[in-house]
Amino acid sequence: MTSIVIPAHNEAPVIGRLLDALLADSDPGDDTDILVVCNGCTDSTAKVASERGPRVRVVEIPVPSKHAALRAGDDQARGFPRVYVDADVVITGAGVRALTEALEDESSGILATAPERRIPLASCAWRVRAYYQVWQQLPAVRAGLFGRGVIAVSKTGHARLAALPPLMADDLAASLAFAPGERRVVDAASVVIQPPRTWPDLIRRRIRAAVSTAQVEQNQARGNQTEGSQAGGCQDPGEGVTSARTSTADLKAVLRREPKLLPNVVVFLAAAVTARRAARKAVRAQDFGTWLRDESSRQQH
């Protein structure tokens, strides 16, 4: 039995569209376990979810924490593969089945899957559109499982995730937990991710990404130092740290493929520099708990 865990904090405006998509194309006799974990909600998220009928189970916890919600969901979930879905994206039941089918052949070595992204940009400011036209072409973005709002794991893959510490960039950490041969982006599955509509909202998202990426890298560096100490060596704190940061080479490769994107790359760099500068204070203070939320992407259109 597949279990879908959906952590939701004040997602009343959008949780219904996700649940409707998951339920609309269910096969007869589909026993997929759908669990919405409302964490610290002060709106009608739980009510909206419970109105979708008996196929949707709702669990409420008092603390507004995605990590706590994921753990609570794991405690209540009934089966594997396990699929984690952000409440503000849209994926269909057929998409979920495509993700889980790719995990069924244990001899393939695939432990984690994610869908292709669909990012509707028509309603966004031009600088937001320019940013995403570059971002979507970056190698790490195309190959990684992060930034999709959905990740499916086998039972073995779940054990890998369960060993991770609580991190703000849980999807990035999850992606980096698997080697390229252990993870797959499934072409037959797609997820709709609503982008920020305005430049300030994009910058808020990028600040959060910069802070959370720094946290992931610090956690990896600590792990490498611990391994070096246990081995009796003196390991470079940065050695072995993997991330998804964009390099100059990545942007040059984009421009070689599409020279006309030069203005877009300039916008991309402006967003990256602005966000990294703004993130420095939080990183210095080790503030990895402040969640800068983009509300524009949660507005109904």
DSSP state for residue 192 in the 8-state scheme: E
Q: Give the residue-averaged pLDDT of 59-65.
A: 95
Q: Give the residue-averaged pLDDT of 18-36.
A: 87
Q: What is the pLDDT of residue 224?
A: 60
Amino acid at 237: P
Amino acid at 28: P
Amino acid at 154: S
Percent share of the chain, pLDDT over 70 = 87
Q: Give the residue-averaged pLDDT of 23-42.
A: 87
Q: Decide if 207 contacts 287 (C-beta within 8 A).
A: no
Q: Give the residue-averaged pLDDT of 136-152.
A: 95
What average pLDDT does the chain have?
A: 88
Q: Evaluate if residue 210 carries a pLDDT over 70.
A: yes
What pTM does this model have?
0.88
Q: Evaluate if residue 232 carries a pLDDT over 60.
A: no
One DSSP character per residue, 205-239 reads: HHHHHHHHHHHHHHHHHHHHHHHHHHTT----TTT
Say how far apart CA 144 and CA 171 lie, in whole Å: 9
Q: What is the pLDDT of residue 238?
A: 39
3-state DSSP call for residue 54? coil
**Confidence band of 234 (pLDDT split at 50, 70, 90):** very low
Q: Evaluate if residue 77 carries a pLDDT over 70.
A: yes
Q: Evaluate if residue 239 carries a pLDDT over 50.
A: no
pLDDT tens profile 272-301? 999 999 888 878 888 666 666 667 777 665
Q: Give the residue-averaged pLDDT of 27-32.
A: 76
Q: What is the pLDDT of residue 164?
A: 85
Q: Which residue has better confidence, 170 or 86?
A: 86
DSSP state for residue 37 in the 8-state scheme: E
Q: Which residue has better confidence, 296 or 233?
A: 296
Q: Evaluate if residue 73 carries a pLDDT over 50.
A: yes
Sheet holding 89-90, edge to edge: 56-61, 33-39, 3-8, 82-85, 150-153, 112-118, 183-193, 89-90
Domains in the chain, CATH or no CATH each? 3-124+143-193 (3.90.550.10), 199-298 (no CATH)
Q: What is the pLDDT of residue 291?
A: 61
Spell out the residues 6+ positions from residue 247 whose beta carbon is closer than 8 angstroms to its own: none
3-state DSSP call for residue 129? helix
Q: Evaluate if residue 117 carries a pLDDT over 60.
A: yes
Q: What is the pLDDT of residue 244?
A: 67
Q: Evaluate if residue 147 carries a pLDDT over 50.
A: yes
Q: What is the pLDDT of residue 168?
A: 66
Q: Evaluate if residue 12 carries a pLDDT over 50.
A: yes
